[in-house]
Amino acid sequence: MERVFIFDTTLRDGEQTPGASLTVREKLEIARQLEKLGVDVIEAGFPATSPGDFEAVRRITQEVSVPVIAALARALPFDIERAGEALKKAKNGRVHTFIGTSPIHMKYQLNKSPQQVLQLARKAVKLAREYTSKVEFSPMDATRSDFVFLCEVIEAVINEGAGVINIPDTVGYSAPEEFGNLIQRIMEKVPGINETILSVHCHDDLGMATANSLAAVKKGARQIECAINGLGERAGNTSLEEVVMALKTRQDFFSFSTSIHTQQIYRTSRLVSRLTGIFVQPNKAIVGENAFRHESGIHQDGVLKKAATFEIMSPSSIGVKGEGLVLGKLSGRHAFKERLKELGFLLKDEELELAFGAFKELADKKKNIYDEDLVFIVEEKISEIPEVYTLDYIHTVTGNKILSTATVRVKKKGEMFQEAACGDGPVDAAYKAIDRITGIRLALVDYSIHSVTGGKDALGEVMIKVKGEGDLITGKGASTDIIEASAKAYINAINRLVYRQRNNK
Ligand code: KIV
Ligand code: ZN
């Protein structure tokens, strides 16, 4: 069966999701998981945009060995040189260069004539070839470009040595039949296109990214660019899990395979959600928490009799274990370590100790510990962000007829600092007390809470977005007490801010 290559852009286009910025270590962690997932290409970043992106691409080339590592670059010498430098140690590196080819992009964004754009594209590919043998070229906003000009640009860059031609539906404007036809017409018109890999990169502004990508595959595209959980600019990119599971579940219709180990999909989705701070909507196809839940009596009855009555794929095919309780208060280190191994975590001894301590603490408060709790514990404890500030104690008084107050004690470098404040509710009061302790003022832009598992004693997971002087910063915290989880999330955001300032990110 013919293969469709899976090009993952979670770390590049996905990171362009508002508020989803990742540290270098977080990117490395996701890259390692993408390797386990089996993607063919990891687009690791856009090195010219920041030293952090450059470093992330460089580190990923050193620590991830199987997938091709791609680095994005505008069709400008500086960008291409930075991408080439970042990929220097890559076993299998790819410079991905792009320029807008639609009339609206050329006139208003680039202020260049079509002939100037054509020359820039040609030169960019030529220069990129000096750094890597495989160069990918994208005519940005291809779906709103003049077809004859689009083909002219593609032919020119193929002649300069581009080996992958990617057709982006940059603004998510196209419809499946139309996009499939565009791919077919390019295949028919452009000399040399059969010697390249034809790729597609769809955005989901009209909710058609997955359908467009699959229609393109039917007409000759052999690489799909996509992101975990459909992350990406605006409404996001084609969701990796959707195209992969569509190709697998409907192999009878599409007749294509991918290299993806689908049992790693759920774990990858959870990791990306946790590290980016972007929740997955419950009804999201494949990885939403309702994707395999049956509510109506008729459906439940059918599934109990035979799963295939209402399930077109099994939860286990994406790595949802389905078994409930895993560990409890009396479970020992060995069982804990083994379970983590099954969940894909290989921890160093000191990391295991930290995680085990947190597990025991949680087991004292919560009777049943589920896989989701374990994943949360590990990801919270094993973080690259130094805990400059840690929450030591919190006490709040609140009610519907009294002014809420909070007393908070925070540890910094072994020293304790305590403050009290009142506010509009206990979370506001706690945040004001923390502001007094740290002297850092942050505006709260977004606050959400979510229970990690079912049950009244579930861990409450709080995700917040705050704004300091620069970009949005995400903070995360979890506890069986939601006020404590809120305070932890706020302190986590402050620690991230301090880390960013120290590392000039
Ligand atoms: O959406 C887009 O056009 C892109 C390109 C850089 C490929 O992300
Ligand atoms: Zn894009």
Q: Are residues 14 and 150 in the same domain?
A: yes
Find out whether the beta carbon of 201 lies less than 6 Å from any atom of ligand 1: yes
Beta-bridged to residue 140, according to DSSP, are 100
Residue with CA at minimum distance from ligand 1 atom 3: 170
DSSP reduced 3-state for 174: coil
Nearest Cα residue to atom 2 of ligand 1: 170
Ligand 1 neighbour 170 (Cβ under 6 A): yes
User: Residue 309 above 90 pLDDT?
Assistant: no
* Residues 155, 53 share a domain: yes
* Residues 44 and 130 grouped into a single domain: yes
Q: Are residues 413 and 484 in the same domain?
A: yes
Q: Is residue 281 part of a domain?
A: no
Cα-based angle 48, 49, 50 (whole degrees, multiple of 5): 100
- Reported as a single tens digit per residue, the pLDDT across 424-478 is 999 999 999 999 999 998 999 989 898 877 777 788 889 898 887 777 788 888 8
Q: Do residues 113 and 249 share a domain?
A: yes
Same domain flag for 199 and 120: yes
The alpha carbon of 81 and the centre of ligand 2 are apart by a number of angstroms equal to: 21
Domain span at 458: 389-502
User: What are the tokens at 102?
Assistant: 């639609």
Output the CA 10–ligand 2 centroid distance in Å.
10
Residue 326 counted as domain residue: no
Residue of 140, 145, 173 with the most ligand 1 atoms within 8 Å of its CB, for mutation: 140
User: Which residue puts its alpha carbon closest to atom 5 of ligand 1?
Assistant: 140
Strands (E), 244-312: 256-257
What is the separation of C-alpha 364 from the centre of its chain, rounded to a whole number of angstroms?
Answer: 33
From 203, 224, 237, 238, mutation site for ligand 1 pocket: most ligand atoms within 8 A of C-beta: 203
Same structural domain, 59 and 156: yes
If one counts every other C-beta atom within 10 angstroms of the C-beta of residue 333, the result is 12
The answer to whether residue 471 is domain-embedded is: yes
**CATH number of the domain that residue 450 is part of:** 3.30.160.270
The answer, yes or no, to whether residue 114 has pLDDT greater than 80, is yes
Q: Is it the case that residue 22 has pLDDT exceeding 80? A: yes
For residue 439, tell me if it sits in a domain: yes
Q: What is the CATH number of the domain that holds 19?
A: 3.20.20.70
Q: Within a domain: residue 283?
A: no
Query: Distance, CA 28 to ligand 1 centroid (Å)?
Result: 22
Number of domains in the chain: 4
Within this chain, do residues 364 and 473 fall inside the same structural domain, yes or no? no
200: Cα within 13 Å, side-chain hemisphere: 36
Determine which residue's CA is closest to atom 4 belonging to ligand 1: 170
Instruction: Choose which residue among 7, 9, 13 to substitute to test ligand 1 binding: the one with the highest number of ligand atoms within 8 A of its C-beta.
Output: 13
Q: What are 276-300's pLDDT values in tens digits? A: 888 899 899 999 988 887 777 777 7
Global confidence as pTM: 0.82
Name the 3-class secondary structure at 25.
Answer: helix
- What was the pLDDT predicted at 202? 98
- 323 in a domain, yes or no? no
The pLDDT value given to residue 23: 85
- C-alpha of residue 139 to centroid of ligand 1, in Å: 8
Query: In whole numbers, what is the pLDDT of the chain averaged over residues?
Result: 92
Lowest mean pLDDT among 65-69, 134-138, 383-387: 383-387
pLDDT at 504: 57
pLDDT one-digit tens code per residue, 366-411: 877 887 788 778 877 777 678 899 999 999 999 999 999 999 999 9
Task: For 313-349, give the secondary structure using H, E and C.
Answer: CCHHHHCCCCCCCCECCCCCHHHHHHHHHHCCCCCCH
Ligand 1: does its nearest atom lie under 6 Å from the Cβ of 139? Answer: no
Distance 222 CA to ligand 1 centre (A): 17
Q: Which two tokens stand for residue 410?
A: 């925070």
Residue 152 in 3-state DSSP?
helix
Task: Give the pLDDT confidence score for residue 302 in this predicted structure.
Answer: 78
From 76, 138, 237, the mutation candidate for ligand 1 (largest count of ligand atoms within 8 A of CB) is 138
State the pLDDT at residue 321.
Answer: 67
Distance CA 393, CA 380 (A): 18
What phi and psi values does residue 497 have, to the nearest 5 degrees? -65, -45
Judge if 218 and 364 occupy the same domain.
no
Residue 184 domain flag: yes
Ligand nearest to the CA of 171: 1
Check pocket membership of 13 for ligand 1, CB cut-off 6 A: yes
More confident residue, 421 or 466: 421
**Angle between the N-to-C axes of helices 51-63 and 24-37, in degrees from 0 to 180, rounded to the nearest 10:** 40
> Is the C-beta atom of 98 inside 6 A of ligand 1?
yes
Which residue do the tokens 């791609």 mark?
70
More confident residue, 146 or 465: 146
Confidence of residue 325 (pLDDT cuts 50, 70, 90): low
Residue 322: pLDDT band (50, 70, 90) is low
Chain position carrying tokens 């946790």: 274
Q: Per-residue b/e over 197-227, b at no fewer than 16 CB within 10 Å?
A: bbbbbbbbbeebbbbbbbbbbebebbbbbbb
Atom 6 in ligand 1: residue holding the nearest Cα: 98
- Distance in Å, CA 139 to ligand 2 centroid: 11
Residues 76 and 221 reside in one and the same domain: yes
Domain contains 196: yes
User: Does the C-beta of 143 come closer than 6 Å to ligand 1?
Assistant: no
Indicate if 35 and 52 belong to the same structural domain. yes
Instruction: Report pLDDT for 85.
Output: 98
Same structural domain, 354 and 457: no
The pairing of beta strand 5-8 with beta strand 223-226 = parallel
- Nearest ligand, CA of residue 100? 1
Mean pLDDT, residues 82-89 taken together: 97
